[in-house]
Every structure is written in structure tokens, then in C-alpha cells.
């Protein structure tokens, strides 16, 4: 009996257990097989989160690898008004960290919205303080912010990027497709606690960062140019100015300074007028610097020789019912002296001998009236009328650098063609583009546009231009120990009120190259509306000298001075 | 024989479970390291911005002139020496090609 009841109890227990297992099996079958598809979708929706991730923007470096623009993640603070119990208390806590009045924060937090930005792109230090504060309903996210660590240095060339890391001006705009990081939808997998877990397929998606851009700019020469320009603009109470330093053999830009400057880090507060890179977006009437190209044409066309005698009409000549003056009452002079003393009358006579068609063709050959095709946005073509549209006075005007609009960049590029033996180069500011691992993606090599002038003519012209500095109007551009060739320019500006040439608004300029026997630097200096003195030889030539002197020393370009003097110095220095 | 099969099956099962657990564990470890990497990268960028700002020529010039009382070198104080790399033909010692960077007031250097 006992045995039978024992067996009976065992049967009951087994039955209970088995039906339990059967229930579990049934549930499993139900979940894993019958509802499988539906539940997988549901689970994935909870585990996975798709987010749009953008790789960081590439950096911009100078030719020696100095950082000029870089991206950095900085904290931004947001609030979720719905989950806040005490908005005014939270606002009071945040106020000292964010350095914003509590009232303003409170106003944002009391809005009827599910999400509100409280402050964007803060200091990393502020972010660290916020993370230590246990605040409900307040969150911190990191956002990429563009930094220009050198402040206003090179700002007109670099340009700037906007709030969403899009290039808006300068290099940032022109090279945006290279600099911009890849944008990708990335699926993150999260566990029950919301932590990100490594993806199941062990395949990780990471959007690649933007490429790095390496410039031809030399940070130190850029600084020298900006500093000397700023001093000259202040001293002459000018409206502004431009300095460009170019490597004549390659067309690489070493420095491009535009004054007044701006800080690309605080660009929102500045008017668009200040961003413009006026070295290539604005034209001006160049004045006497144009005589270089009139001379080049005359020499190449064999209309003039350096020793050809030209009569200066004692400083006064009538052309097309208007009187042309020279600043000195010049009599007979050689053609070389016409350039060196910057005689308007001599230049007009030269242009007349060339004729309108040839003068026009030559100016076009040197690149006036067309873009230099530099790799920066906003470049203009300049203004040079075709001879059929010229008026009676036009030939004379153009010979003196009036009735023609050029950019400072066109001028220095054309002078560089004389410096390098006759090759008109395409100026450029970016030498290399590299990916994030440092592999070269794009390598830019110098490009010749054409050869407008023969090496023999260049040689003759260079001698004349050296004379401008040694015994002509450009004496203040002389760099001790080096041979300098160049030309001064002083141009009256058109008064916007009267539409006629103003008696007090002018542009003073100097353009030249150094060392004349083996040019390494071509430099243009333009001072816009100087108040103290108008002459290019007075306001611009000294800036050329100071920039050239320091740049030559920085580059380690030695002078052609004899060894004797150096030995004297060392023996004197050896004395106790 | 039967026991051996059961033990082997158990061992395989355990190996499989251990492997799964390990994948999850290492996955979390990778995620932790990734967070650390991002933090370190941020610190690096921050330092790079700082370094770049501190070495800007404008600041160096300001510190040199205002704080340290330095002045730019005057004419004659900088002498550039060009050494020609090719060896002389007759075994004479190579004479450096000395050239002056700036020539004026050379005699007045103290």
C-alpha cells in the first residue's frame, strides 16, 4: 500500500514538473518562433540608436606645420524644461558657471518646449565644472568648434567656418570639400542601462575626419607683413592697406596681409566689409607702378632703349586738351631715367610710340584684366577697357596708371614675372592636402601661365628698376646689403562725391623684388588713403624695406657684401 | 564511453558560453577605452590650441620686447655664413663663404 501511494505521489510530482516544462516550452515556442520577426524588430528599436555623426573638420597649417586653424570639441548646455521642478533654482546654480544672468536662463527654462539650448560652445573648463554639478533636466553635449589660435593673423586668407562647421570665407570656403569631415548615419547598440556596447558584427562605423590643408604661407613672414603694415597705416592715418609677399619662381604666396584686420574667432560681431580679402577682391588705379609694364613693352618691342633720349617738356605737356604734369621740371633724359624719376610725360610719349593696340596687348599679356586664378574665393578680373572703347585721353591715362583697375595680387604676380626671368606664374596658397594619417592626397606644383617677356628684356628692365631704388623715387625701399629693384606708385582716387580725381584721396604703393640678381621675394605694398603724405615713395617704400629686411633674415638669405667687413666685426667683437 | 561523450559535450557547451560572456566583457572594455580615447583626444586638441596660441609670433614678440626687454637685432649683429658643401680639390680646408646679412654700422658693434 505504502509503495503504491509512493509511486502515485511520484507520478503527480513528475506530472506537475512536466506540465511546467511544457508551459515554458510553449511560451518559448511562442516567443522564439511564432512572434520572432515582430519581437526582433521591437528589440532592435530599443537596442539600436541611429545618430548622424560627422568626422571632425581638418586643420590648416602653415608651410612649417604651425597650426593656423583647428577643431576642438567644446561643451554646449541644453535643458529639458518639462523635467524641471525648480527652474529658478537651476538657473541660479548655472548662472555663475555660464556667466549669464540667472533671469535670462530662467526665461529659457520656463518655455513650453521639450528641448532648449541654454548656452552653446563654452570653454572646456566650464564644461568640466558643469559635469560636476548634479542637475536634473540639464545636459551637456560636445560640439565641434573651429578655433583660430593665432587670432587675427592671416584672417583674410583663412576666412572662417560657421556654427555647423561649414566653410564660409577664404581657404575655409574654397577648400571646404577637403576640410569637411565625412557625415554618416551610425547605428549605436545599447544595453539595458543605455550604455553603448560594441556592435554584434564586430564591425565598427566611424566617419572619417576631414583632410588637413598645408599652406604656402610662412607664419613669421605673415606676422612681419601684418605688423609693419599696421604700423604704417597708423602712422600715416590711412584707411587701410595691403602687403603681399610672393616667391617669384613658384608663385607661392608667403604672406598676404590686409589692414584693418579682424579676428575670425569673433566673426559674428564684424561687418562683412571687413572680411573681404581686398588684395584680390578690390581694384584700384595703380598709378606709376604701371610704368614698369609700359617700359617692358617698349623694350621688348624695341620702341625704346635704356639710353634713348626723351624730352621732358619741362614738366608740362598738353594731351587731348588736358595738361599732364611731372612733379619735377624735367628736360632731356634717358629712357631709364623716365622710369627712375617716374616721369608722366616720358611714359605718355613711350605709350604713344607703342600705340593703343600694342599697349593693350602687352598689359593683357602681363595678366591685367583677367583673374590670376589664385586658389582663394572672390577674385575679380580688374578693369581694362578694349582700345575701341578708349577715349582720346585714354592712352595717356593708362600710361600713367589711370583708367585701369588692378588688384594688388595682379600687380605682384606681374612683377614676379619680371623677377623670375619672364614667367607669369599662377599664384597659390595651398601646397598640400593630407589625410588624417599624414598621407599626401593632393600635391600642388607651381604652374606657369605663359612667358610674356624675353629674359634679355627682363635683364635690361631689372637694371632700370634697380636704378629706381639706388637713385630714383624709391630710395626709401633700399635694403642695406641687398640689391632691390622696384617702382613707386602714387595714384589719385576718384572722389565718390564729385566723380572726378580727388585732391586729397590717394593710394601710395611700392612694388619690387629682392635680391635683384637672384630674386627670392616679390613684394607689393599698398597704402590706401594716407593722410600725412601721398607719395608711394614715402608711405609705401619704407614698409617694403622693413618687410624685405626681416623676411630675408628669417629665410637666411645672405647679402652680397664682401667678407672683409664681417672679419672686422669678429675681431672687434673678440676684444675684451 | 557514454560518460566521456557527455563530459565532452558539457565542455563544449561551457566553452561556448565562456566565449559569449568574454565577447560581451571585452566589448564593454573596448567601449570604456573608446570613451577614454575620446577624452584624451579632446585633451590633446585643447593642448594643441593652447600651444598654438602661446607660440604665435605676435605673442612671442610681445613677451620678448615688453617682458624680457629684448630688441630686434640691429644691422651688423646678424652674420649669415654660407658653407658650401662640396669638398675642395686640393685637400685644402674648406673656407666658409661668409656674407653679411646687414652691412651698416658694422664697425660700431660693441
**Per-residue pLDDT tens digits for A492-531:** 888 878 888 888 899 999 999 999 999 999 999 999 999 9
Considering chain A, what is the average pLDDT of its residues?
Answer: 89
pLDDT band at A563, cuts 50/70/90?
very low
Residue-level pLDDT at A191: 74
Residue from A224, A226, A559, A568 to probe the interface with B (highest B Cβ count within 10 Å): A559
Which pLDDT tens digit goes with each residue over B54-82?
A: 999 999 999 999 999 998 887 777 777 76
What was the ipTM of the complex prediction?
A: 0.75
Highest averaged pLDDT of the listed ranges A124-138, A283-297, A309-323: A283-297
Residue-level pLDDT at A383: 93
Taking CB atoms and an 8 Å limit, are B102 and A150 in contact across chains? no
- Report chain B's terminal Cα–Cα distance, integer Å: 103
Average pLDDT estimate for A165-177: 92
Residue-level pLDDT at A226: 97
Highest averaged pLDDT of the listed ranges A140-154, A155-169, A247-261: A247-261
Does pLDDT of A268 surpass 90?
Answer: no
Residue-level pLDDT at B1: 81
Does pLDDT of A120 surpass 90?
Answer: no
Average pLDDT estimate for A36-45: 84
pLDDT band at B96, cuts 50/70/90?
very low
Average pLDDT estimate for A474-491: 93
B-chain residues within 8 Å CB-CB of A148?
none
Residue-level pLDDT at A576: 40
Taking CB atoms and an 8 Å limit, are B102 and A480 in contact across chains? yes
| A574 to chain B: closest CA residue | B110
pLDDT band at A575, cuts 50/70/90?
very low
Taking CB atoms and an 8 Å limit, are B56 and A153 in contact across chains? yes
What's the residue count for chain B? 110
Task: Name the H helices within A79-149.
Answer: 87-98, 102-109, 124-132
Q: How far is CA B52 from each of CA A50, A126, A151, A444, B46, rounded to the nearest angstrom? A: 36, 21, 10, 25, 10
User: Can you read off the three cell numbers belonging to residue B31?
Assistant: 567601449
pLDDT band at A547, cuts 50/70/90?
very high
Q: Give one DSSP letter per residue of A159-205, joined into a string.
A: --B-TTS-B-SHHHHHTHHHHSPPEEEEEEEE-TTS-EE--TTS---
The per-residue b/e assignment along A552-571, b for 16 or more CB within 10 angstroms, e otherwise, is bbeeebbbebeeebbeebee
Q: Write down the pTM of the prediction.
A: 0.83
The strand ranges marked E within chain B are: 79-82, 97-100
A332: β partners: A311
| B26 to chain A: closest CA residue | A198
Which pLDDT tens digit goes with each residue over A308-363?
A: 999 999 989 998 888 998 988 899 999 999 999 999 999 999 999 999 999 999 99
Task: Tell me which of A217-231, A448-462, B69-83 is least confident.
Answer: B69-83
CATH number of A52-82+93-215: 3.90.1310.10
Chain B contacts to A (CB-CB under 8 A): 24, 26-28, 30-31, 42, 45-46, 48-53, 55-58, 61, 72-73, 75-76, 78-82, 97-104, 106-107, 109
Q: How far is A493 from chain B (nearest CA, A)?
A: 33
Task: Tell me which of A371-385, A420-434, B63-77 is least confident.
Answer: B63-77
pLDDT band at A34, cuts 50/70/90?
confident
> Residue A169: which of A80, A272, A250 has the closest Cα?
A272
Task: Name the H helices within A52-149.
Answer: 87-98, 102-109, 124-132
pLDDT band at A139, cuts 50/70/90?
confident
B-chain residues within 8 Å CB-CB of A195?
28, 31
Residue-level pLDDT at B92: 46
Q: How far is CA A378 from each of CA A5, A152, A471, rounded to the nearest angstrom? A: 102, 20, 39
Does pLDDT of B110 surpass 90?
Answer: no
| Closest CB to A569 among B31, B51, B76 | B76
pLDDT band at A131, cuts 50/70/90?
confident
Which pLDDT tens digit goes with each residue over A73-112?
A: 888 888 888 777 788 888 888 888 888 888 888 888 888 7
Does pLDDT of A483 surpass 60?
Answer: yes
Q: Domains of chain A: which residue ranges? A: 52-82+93-215, 219-555
A103 within 8 A of A131, measured Cβ to Cβ: no
> Residue A84: which of A121, A53, A47, A110 has the closest Cα?
A110
Instruction: Provide CB contacts within 8 A for A4, sequence distance 6+.
Output: none
d(CA A293, CA A239) in angstroms, rounded, equals 28
Distant-in-sequence contacts of A256-260, Cβ < 8 A, 24+ apart? A256/A154, A256/A156, A256/A157, A256/A217, A256/A222, A256/A225, A256/A429, A257/A156, A257/A222, A257/A225, A257/A226, A257/A229, A258/A156, A259/A226, A259/A229, A259/A230, A259/A233, A260/A233
Q: On the CB side of A191, how many CA atoms lie within 13 Å of its CA? A: 10
| B39 to chain A: closest CA residue | A73
Taking CB atoms and an 8 Å limit, are B24 and A150 in contact across chains? no
Residue-level pLDDT at B74: 77
In degrees, to the nearest 5, what angle opens at C-alpha A67 toward C-alphas A66 and A69? 150
Q: Which residue in the list A59, A76, A155, A288 is annotated as catalytic?
A: A288
Task: Tell me which of A229-233, A375-379, B102-106 is least confident.
Answer: B102-106
| Closest CB to A480 among B31, B55, B103 | B103
User: Can you read off the three cell numbers belonging to residue A120?
Assistant: 552653446
Does pLDDT of A208 surpass 60?
Answer: yes
Residue from B35, B45, B53, B84 to probe the interface with A (highest A Cβ count within 10 Å): B45
**Quick check: is A288 catalytic?**
yes
Do domains A52-82+93-215 and A219-555 share one topology? The answer is no
| Closest CB to B45 among A72, A558, A563 | A72
Packing angle between helix A455-471 and helix A291-300, nearest 10 degrees?
140
Does pLDDT of A574 surpass 50?
Answer: no
CATH number of A219-555: 3.40.710.10
Does pLDDT of B107 surpass 80?
Answer: no
Per DSSP, the three-state class of A105 is: helix
Pairing state of beta strands A67-79 and A60-61? antiparallel
Other CB atoms within a 10 A radius of the CB of residue B27 amount to: 18
Amino acid at each position: 500500500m505504502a509503495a503504491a501511494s509512493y509511486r502515485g505521489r511520484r507520478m503527480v510530482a513528475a506530472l506537475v514538473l512536466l506540465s511546467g516544462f511544457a508551459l515554458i516550452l510553449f511560451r518559448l515556442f511562442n516567443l522564439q518562433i511564432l512572434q520572432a520577426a515582430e519581437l526582433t524588430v521591437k528589440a532592435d528599436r530599443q537596442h539600436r540608436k541611429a545618430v548622424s555623426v560627422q568626422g571632425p573638420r581638418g586643420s590648416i597649417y602653415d608651410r612649417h606645420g604651425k597650426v593656423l586653424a583647428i577643431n576642438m570639441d567644446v561643451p554646449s548646455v541644453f535643458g529639458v524644461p518639462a523635467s524641471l521642478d525648480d527652474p529658478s533654482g537651476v538657473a541660479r546654480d548655472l548662472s555663475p558657471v555660464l556667466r549669464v544672468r540667472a533671469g535670462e536662463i530662467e526665461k529659457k527654462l520656463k518655455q513650453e518646449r521639450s528641448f532648449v539650448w541654454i548656452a552653446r560652445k563654452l570653454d572646456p573648463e566650464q564644461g568640466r565644472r558643469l559635469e560636476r554639478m548634479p542637475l536634473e533636466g540639464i545636459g551637456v553635449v560636445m560640439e565641434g568648434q573651429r578655433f583660430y589660435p593665432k587670432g587675427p593673423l592671416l584672417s583674410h586668407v583663412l576666412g572662417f567656418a560657421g556654427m555647423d562647421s561649414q566653410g564660409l570665407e577664404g581657404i575655409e570656403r574654397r577648400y571646404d570639400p577637403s576640410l569637411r569631415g565625412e557625415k554618416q548615419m551610425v547605428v549605436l547598440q545599447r544595453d539595458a542601462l543605455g550604455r553603448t556596447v560594441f556592435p554584434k558584427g564586430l564591425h565598427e562605423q566611424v566617419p572619417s575626419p576631414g583632410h588637413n590643408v598645408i599652406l604656402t604661407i610662412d607664419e613669421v613672414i605673415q606676422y612681419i607683413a601684418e605688423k609693419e603694415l599696421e604700423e604704417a597705416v597708423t602712422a600715416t592715418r590711412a584707411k587701410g592697406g595691403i602687403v603681399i609677399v610672393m616667391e617669384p619662381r613658384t608663385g607661392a604666396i608667403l604672406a598676404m596681409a590686409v589692414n584693418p584686420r579682424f579676428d575670425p574667432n569673433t566673426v559674428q560681431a564684424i561687418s562683412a566689409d571687413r572680411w573681404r580679402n581686398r588684395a584680390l577682391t578690390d581694384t584700384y588705379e595703380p598709378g606709376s607702378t604701371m610704368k614698369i609694364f609700359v617700359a617692358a613693352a617698349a623694350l621688348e618691342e624695341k620702341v625704346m632703349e635704356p639710353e634713348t633720349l626723351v624730352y621732358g617738356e619741362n614738366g608740362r605737356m598738353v594731351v587731348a586738351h588736358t595738361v599732364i604734369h611731372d612733379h619735377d621740371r624735367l628736360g632731356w633724359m634717358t629712357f631709364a631715367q623716365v622710369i627712375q624719376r617716374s616721369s608722366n610725360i616720358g611714359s605718355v610719349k613711350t605709350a604713344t610710340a607703342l600705340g593703343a593696340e600694342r599697349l593693350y596687348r602687352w598689359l593683357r599679356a602681363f595678366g591685367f584684366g583677367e583673374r590670376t586664378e589664385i586658389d582663394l574665393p572672390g577674385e575679380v578680373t580688374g578693369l581694362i577697357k578694349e582700345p575701341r572703347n578708349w577715349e582720346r585721353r585714354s592712352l595717356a591715362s593708362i600710361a600713367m596708371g589711370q583708367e585701369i583697375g588692378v588688384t594688388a595680387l595682379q600687380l605682384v604676380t606681374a612683377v614676379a614675372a619680371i623677377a623670375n626671368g619672364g614667367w607669369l606664374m599662377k599664384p597659390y596658397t595651398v601646397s598640400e592636402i593630407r589625410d588624417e594619417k599624414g598621407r599626401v592626397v593632393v600635391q600642388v606644383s607651381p604652374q606657369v601661365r605663359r612667358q610674356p617677356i624675353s629674359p634679355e628684356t627682363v635683364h635690361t628692365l631689372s637694371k632700370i628698376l634697380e636704378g629706381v631704388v639706388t637713385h630714383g623715387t624709391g630710395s626709401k625701399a633700399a635694403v642695406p646689403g641687398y640689391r632691390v629693384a622696384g617702382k613707386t606708385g602714387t595714384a589719385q582716387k576718384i572722389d565718390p562725391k564729385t566723380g572726378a580725381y580727388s585732391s586729397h584721396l590717394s593710394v601710395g604703393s611700392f612694388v619690387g623684388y629682392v635680391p635683384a640678381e637672384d630674386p627670392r621675394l616679390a613684394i607689393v605694398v599698398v597704402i590706401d588713403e594716407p593722410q600725412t603724405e601721398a607719395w608711394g615713395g614715402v608711405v609705401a617704400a619704407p614698409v617694403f624695406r622693413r618687410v624685405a629686411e626681416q623676411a630675408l633674415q628669417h629665410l637666411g638669405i645672405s647679402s652680397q657684401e664682401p667678407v672683409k667687413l664681417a672679419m672686422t666685426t669678429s675681431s672687434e667683437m673678440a676684444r675684451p | 564511453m557514454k560518460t566521456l561523450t557527455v563530459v565532452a559535450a558539457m565542455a563544449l557547451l561551457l566553452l561556448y558560453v565562456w566565449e559569449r560572456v568574454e565577447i560581451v566583457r571585452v566589448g564593454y572594455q573596448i567601449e570604456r577605452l573608446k570613451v577614454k580615447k575620446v577624452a584624451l583626444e579632446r585633451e590633446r586638441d585643447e593642448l594643441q590650441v593652447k600651444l598654438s596660441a602661446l607660440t604665435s609670433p605676435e605673442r612671442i614678440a610681445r613677451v620678448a620686447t615688453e617682458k624680457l626687454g629684448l630688441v630686434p637685432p640691429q644691422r651688423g649683429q646678424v652674420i649669415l655664413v654660407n658653407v658650401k658643401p662640396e669638398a675642395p680639390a686640393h685637400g685644402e680646408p674648406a673656407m666658409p663663404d661668409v656674407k653679411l646679412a646687414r652691412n651698416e654700422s658694422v664697425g660700431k658693434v660693441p
